[in-house]
Amino acid sequence: MLKRATLTDIAELQEICKKSYSQVFADHWTKNGMELYLEQEFGTNRLNSELADDNYEYYFIQYNGENIEFLKMNYKSSRELSELDNCELEKIYILPKHGGKGIGKTVMTQMIKHSQEKNKKNLFLCVIDTNENANAFYIKLGFKFHSKTRLEVAHFKEELKGMH
């Protein structure tokens, strides 16, 4: 269900990252913000750098042998929680068309186990506070609310910047 991406996978990873993100979050942006963000987050230079860095892991989420989505783990986040020997699930995108198949639950269970195998004390993530479905999903998996923060990204709709 998960396949770790390597430098040889960069073209396919970049395609899946941009496609997944834009389908899930297209209505969260103003102006050309999404295009700028996609290049910033999933540009060739950034992916090359992060795939070569042991602090990051990208995974293809596979279903029926096909790479359908992706996730990104960050073991040295700039957030203060990672300084406490925790790790961050920085990005995970499961498109609605793949919902209800248990993919998200299976993937999250695998990543929780993976973070424990790396001797991390906790796995944390940030979720847009208005995303009730995602928040309920993570709570169901045992995640607990820690604090609120804000997403400070240009051209992201103001009413969606609140994060749990």
pLDDT 10s digit of each residue in the chain, 164 long?
Answer: 899 999 999 999 999 999 999 988 999 999 889 999 999 999 999 999 999 999 999 999 999 888 999 999 998 866 565 556 889 999 998 877 888 899 999 999 999 999 999 999 889 999 999 999 899 999 999 999 888 989 888 899 999 999 98
**pLDDT value of residue 81:** 55
Q: Which amino acid is located at 32 in the chain?
A: N
Structure tokens at 95: 């498109």
Domain of 100, CATH number, reads: 3.40.630.30
Q: Which residue type, as a one-letter code, is found at position 152?
A: E
Neighbouring residues of 138: CB distance < 8 A, sequence distance ≥ 6: 108, 125, 127
pLDDT of residue 21: 93
The confidence score (pLDDT) of residue 31 equals: 84
pTM above 0.85, yes or no: yes
What distance in Å separates the CA atoms of residue 129 and residue 53, rounded to the nearest whole number?
30
Name the strand (E) or helix (H) holding 39. helix 33-42
Q: What is the Cα Rg of the chain in Å?
A: 15
Domain count along the chain:
1
- Residue 124 sits in which domain range? 2-163
Let me know: does 52 contact 88? Beta carbons within 8 Å: no
Cβ–Cβ under 8 Å, residues 61 and 106:
no
CA gap 85, 54 in Å, rounded: 15
